[in-house]
Structure 1
Amino acid sequence: MIKYKIFNKLVLALFILLLVCSVLFTITQKINESIMRKNLEESTKKQLDYSVEQFEKDLHQLEVMSILLINDRSIKSFSTSYDFSSRIDHLLKRKYVEEKLKIQQNVIGSNHAFTIYWPQTNEIISTNQEIEYDAYDFIHTPKNKWFSKWSGGSLTFGFMVTSPLTINHFENVNTIVEASFSAEFLDNVLDLINASGNANSFIYLSDKTSYATNEINDSMISEITKKPSFNQDSGSFIIENQDIKYAVHYRYISSIDAKIVGYTELDSFLAPLNDIKYLVYLCLFTLFMTGILMAYLLHRHLRYNMKHLVNKIDQLGKGAYDTRVTIQANNEFDYLFSRFNRMAQKIQALIEDVYIAKLRTREAQYKHLQSQINPHFLYNCLFYIVSMAKRSPEAVTTMANNLARYYRYITKKNTDLTELHDEISFLRNYLEVQSLRNSQLTYKINIAKEMDHIFIPPLTLQPIIENAILHGIDNRRGAGEIIVTGEATNECYRLIIEDDGKGLPSFEINQLLHSINQPNIGESESYGLWNINQRLLHYYGEQTNISIQSRNPNGLKVTISIPRLSKIRDNRQLVPKKGAI
């Protein structure tokens, strides 16, 4: 069997190329995704750090301003300005305080407000005129720390300081200053984080409430806050909400005791990378389809043509010399095909010439064998006539007639084979003549009906029976039985000749079989058997054989096996057709 090493190697190389490209792309994709996630974490973390830092600075500035206001002399003395004889000073100081608060607000921003409360006189001055203040709020609100409060659905953060700074006894407090900022300030902080494009953010307060500029699903907040790592001051993790993955980053704001949280939808953030991934998938698919097309072209134009040529070479090697390549490859294989056809044509011509020469040689050899057996038979018949001339003139006449009929039969036949029933008919005449010579001789002939028309070489059975009479029956007293049997099996025909003569020892039988199977033999007693064997081999080949066995209790048994073939007529019909040699 041919081994398609080149084709298999090309296909394997193509498969390895596709595999390597796929593996490299997968690794690259993972690396790119990891890098982008890392960049997302770093950028979000920096954004949170910056926002928290700015937020803390603004709160610290508000705290400082509150302390400066609480220590301002004019603000301190405002509550005692009623002691003056004229209220003009009180009004002037109020005007001064209002201007100072406006200046502070302009410095810090419009989203912030400053409010001053004097418990002794129950007066309030504030930059935020929209909020109604209650003295109760000032008294019971925590001091010197930031607090949050919801009012009318709006979130506000404030920071209060008092003068003096001890507030255990509120009646001793002279002035209370509150710095506050509204939700708009938080909106600016959150919008700064959201400005990155993919992130959303919210503030998670210590009272487990949250504030965001955009609407946030409660399940999202629940997924984030229930993470154990969320208890830390800062960090990041991945969550999945409604089959969508999010990258979450958070940072603790110590001033207001809250956490600012930013989260990004990973698929949205990695969308450009996914677009590249799909493009690479398309390239890999195109490469895969190109590989399949190349494999098909290689199979169609290389392996198919090579296989066809190899099949033709195998047929040529098996003896089909008339085989030819008939396909048109329309490529380089056409040259190989034409050369193969020319070579096969020359081989066929040479084989036919050699076979014809060999056949003629075999015909010459057979003619030579036939020419030898005929005189041999004639000599035996003449010797018999001479020996019986004085004892039995009737036997001489019968033998002469038998001899005449035989040579008339031989000279009239144009073929080198005869039908079995003709051979048996001649054999009966011969046995009748022999029974005249030996009155004790009896014979039985039992041939299967279907064997009457098989073809065998002439004088195949007569020499064997002649040897059985001369060398077997004549040499044992009381012997005289000849039995000829024809059997047909599925594989072959058998002609069996048995006698009750003297027989032969086993070693002589082996020597006899050895001698008749030699290609050449000299003049000997086994010449007739050798001649028969050679003529059978000439027509039937190695499928035929002659076996010799001892017969119980006396005599020999000679079996001729002939292959079960169609009727073989002559040598001319043994010549094979072209290509069937």
Structure 2
Amino acid sequence: MIKYKVFQKLLFMFGALFVPTAILFYYANHTSKELVTHTLVNSSSRQMEYTLDQIEQTLRHLEKQALVLTNDSSVRSYANYSNSDDLLDHLFIRNIIEEKLDIQAQADPLIGDLTVYWPQLEERISAAGAGKSMASKEELMMKPKNRWYAEFINDQVFFHLLLSNSPFMEKDLTNATVMVEVTISNRYIASVLEGLNKTGNGTSFFYFRNGNITSTEAIDSNVRAHLMQTPLLRNDISTDVTNHASVKIDGTEYLIQIMRSPTLDCSLVSYIRSDAFLLPLHKVNVLINVSLLFLVVFGIGFSYMFYKHFRTPFAYLVRKIEKLGEGDYTIRATLKTRTEFDYLFDRFNEMAARTQSLIENVYEEKVRTREAEYKHLQSQINPHFLYNCLFFIVSMANKSPEAVISMAKNLAAFYRYITRRAGEQTTLEDEIRLMQSYLEVQALRNRRLSYTIAIPEEILRLSMPTLLLQPIVENAIVHGIEQKQKSGKVSITGAVLADRYQLCIDDDGAGLSNEEIILLTERIQSSYQPSEEMGCGLRNVNHRLIHRFGPRSGLLFERNEWQGLRVRFQIPFSHLS
């Protein structure tokens, strides 16, 4: 008896969904503001830390590039040339340096400019295309050395690093032979701020000690004025920890976060209006309460509709199926629901009617036909063949006792095999032994008969029904070789192909024309007709092969190189068990 647990599980799942959900959102209404604020702070802090960490990595990378340039052999050797030196070598080395600067500047999009100075020569080469020009020592002496510094030009900030090959420099730069200046592109600073703003954590900008600000978006004037007065931006604060505070400015609450960059000597600042992210939360709370009410009403209505339109007709159909399973093939479904179940009921009624017709008519008729086919095959195999062998034994009793012994031995092995219970499984190796006995018997009767068997070991282990090869070999001898003079060759071969095994039985007998091959193929694929005199054995073999190994394993007929007939069938790997 089937147990109807779907409806009970549905109610249980609805209760398990609604009760915890209601409790969860009741608690969330009281803690959502603190949780969202904490989440926003953590998210923004991590994003700012990640951004500054990426900037620091970029600066270290550029510092290494500048250090490599200061120690480059071409750069250092250029400083050793004077006006009296070979001008051609001088220009050649200069060209090499220009190419190196261009390659580095183009390979790294972060570099806005890359310049090499030779203070003693008062020359410089720049990747920005400045070419050879003078640079006074006073100009270089005014710039900060071996550290990053910011330069503001037309409301744009540029970060520079002026690196010397001498860690200890005199005021007049007499001991500095080479100096490399790296300038970070303003586009890179803008892209950093734009990427940080796109995270949705507010508006971000860089704040410098001198009060300058660089940003890609407009800064709220009230926020900027307040930040100038807050201790969060004091110059003596130097830490890599994010400082955050929630402040009210003109009645509006802001969340402000600040993190310093010691390398750039500036602060990364981010701010956002608190109500900008808490207002959607209040709307969500209202929506959730309405949704919970809707969930209750919908759950009750859905349960009722499920019980009426699914549980009741399903139980009715199950009862009818149980009656059908008990053997009552006259059972029919008469309930009308005006739903999809009416289609199922109609299909059930059709299935029951077809099953009843099958049981009463078709099945019994097919069983009788199959029994007739097997009996007809057995009658073909036994009497005629046995009589001929007995006559041979009688005729050879006095002439050749060895032939009589061989005939009796092979005949006994042959009949011991074919008298097995019908349908019993065997192996191809046993079938081949049967064919050897059968062909030996035929060779004793017909001296011009010879045969060859070549089957790979892998195929011999295959499991198959009994008496598949014997009807084919018998047809090759009776309808092929015996119908043609000077013929007498039979070959049984096997092969392992890519996705199947293949067996071929060849003879050099009379063979068949193309029209006869087509006719024979149609005959073995049709149902058995008691009036037919030929083809029953091959038809039986063809049907048994298809039933056991699938439609690709049926018999195929074709002419061979001996002008005789080849019967071929194959066993797909996918149908082996």
| Higher radius of gyration, 1 or 2 | 1
Normalised by the length of structure 2, the TM-score is: 0.42
Normalised by the length of structure 1, the TM-score is: 0.42
